[in-house]
Amino acid sequence: MSHFEERLERDLEKIRGEVAAVAANVETAVRNAREALLTLDKPLANETILGDLPINRAVRRIDRLCYRFIALYLPSAGHLRFISTVLRLNIALERVGDYAVTICREVNQLTRPPTGVMRREIERLADEALEMYRQAMRAFNEQNADLARATIPLAAQARRSFGVAYADLVEEGERHAYACDEMLMILIILNRISRINDQAKNICEDTVFAVTGESKQPKVYRIAFLEDEDRFLSQMAVAIARKSFPGSGSYTSAGRHPAPALDPDFIAWMEARGYDMTDARPTPIDWPPEDWETFHVVVSLDGPVARYLDPPPFNTAVLEWQIDTSGAADPKERFERAYRQIASRVSALMETMRGEDAD
């Protein structure tokens, strides 16, 4: 090994060591924030708040080391991927530290620790977040792409857990177990814990890139189109979305009072335009609450979304499309008017979610 290569490896090792030290300090901050919250330990909360300052300085020091490494060695291939990943990882570490600080600031405002159901939910969510963070950092430190890939699905589990905790918090509020200001503080805390999982997922995706060069795969969105009888507008929206954007989403339609079957004239009109309606049939909305949580977007084509679900899942965006087919002289004209409006809105929605390269 040449002197140049020895120096390069030595500087890389220094960066790895700095990252591992900061990651350990961030983990301690999250663990202390959890303990301070569950026990209302305000001295510990304030120590954690102040302890974020050295973390921020260390993060800036790692940034400087990375930029110096680039300037000195002009890295390429694996070394360049590793350094660019460290720069992104640095952002994630700083944010996780900030989430711990926010939790501790909320602890300082509380007059009592969470009790009963909410205490159990917070404890469970915090433990899940810590475990995912630890696995993500282990994957990065070991440059283990397989472990990183295996850890990524935990983020979806965490989102479902957050949805359950949010529903429980609403129920606690309805029973007046917490005052309004306490509920707001707990909601903020739940959100910050959830965001730790999101950052851990980012760390895993960056680790996969650093080790293998594989870029993050574009997200596939789950979208539900709702109509009372699920026999016309919702079926048309699903057919258009599946044909125009098959790689960008998974599309479902359903209704509160599904019709026995689709109109044969409607099926013939769609098939004449190249849409496969073989398996299209009205289906009931009979999804359990945890299934609603899996949808990224819910679109009502027949009045307010509240007719179908109220309130919507915390992480789900809801849209209400007003499709005007009034004044149509015959069914074919009605189909055509609806088609033009829905096709335009589906395209706009998918381009918003996936960009101009939505497929």
Q: What is the DSSP letter of 225?
A: E
In a domain, 359, yes or no: no
CATH number for the domain spanning 83: value is: 1.20.58.220
Among 212, 236, 252, the domain boundary falls at 212
Over range 304-323, report the average pLDDT: 89
Q: What is the pTM of this model?
A: 0.79
**Radius of gyration over every alpha carbon of the chain, rounded to an integer in angstroms:** 25
23 and 157 co-located in one domain: yes
Same domain assignment for residues 255 and 272: yes
Give the structural domain span for 271: 221-354
Q: Please give the residue that has the higher pLDDT: either 166 or 35.
A: 35
| Residues 337-350 pLDDT 10s | 999 999 999 999 99
- Tell whether 198 and 299 lie within a shared domain: no
Q: What is the DSSP string of 26-78?
A: HHHHHHHHHHHHHHT-HHHHHHHHHHHHHHHHHHHHHHHHHHHHHHHH---HH
20-35 pLDDT, tens digit per residue, is 999 999 999 999 999 9
- The reply to whether 132 falls in a domain is yes
pLDDT at position 166 is: 84
CB-side neighbour CA atoms (13 Å) of 160: 12
Tell me, rounded to whole angstroms, the distance of Cα 278 from its chain centroid: 34
Say yes or no to pLDDT of 170 above 90. Answer: no
Domain count, the chain: 2
Taking 90 as the threshold, does the pLDDT of residue 266 lie above it? yes
What pLDDT score does 251 carry? 97
Higher per-residue pLDDT: 249 or 3 = 249
- With a cut of 80, say whether residue 290 has pLDDT above it: no
pLDDT, mean of residues 215-225: 88
113, 119 Cβ separation under 8 angstroms: yes
Which whole number is the average pLDDT over 196-217?
Answer: 93
pLDDT grade for 1, boundaries at 50, 70 and 90: confident
Q: Is 70 exposed, middle or buried (0-12, 13-18, 19+ CB in 10 A)?
A: middle
Amino acid 162: pLDDT? 87
Tell me what pLDDT residue 216 has.
77
Listed residues 159, 192, 212: the one ending a domain = 212
Percent of the chain with pLDDT over 70: 100
Average pLDDT over residues 71-89: 93
Q: Identify whether residues 50 and 195 lie together within a single domain.
A: yes
pLDDT tens figures, 101-142: 999 999 999 999 999 999 999 999 999 999 999 999 999 999
Angle at 109 between CA 106 and CA 111, to 5 degrees: 120
Is pLDDT at 3 greater than 90 in this prediction? no
* Residue-averaged pLDDT of the chain: 93
* pLDDT reported for residue 106: 96
The answer to whether residues 100 and 201 belong to one domain is yes
Confidence bin at 210 (pLDDT 50/70/90): very high
Backbone angles phi and psi of 179, in degrees to 5: -70, 165
Do 237 and 160 belong together in one domain?
no
Residue 53 placed within a domain: yes
Looking at the fold, whether 140 and 54 belong to one and the same domain comes out as yes
Tens digit of each residue's pLDDT (9 = 90 or more) over 182-201: 999 999 999 999 999 999 99
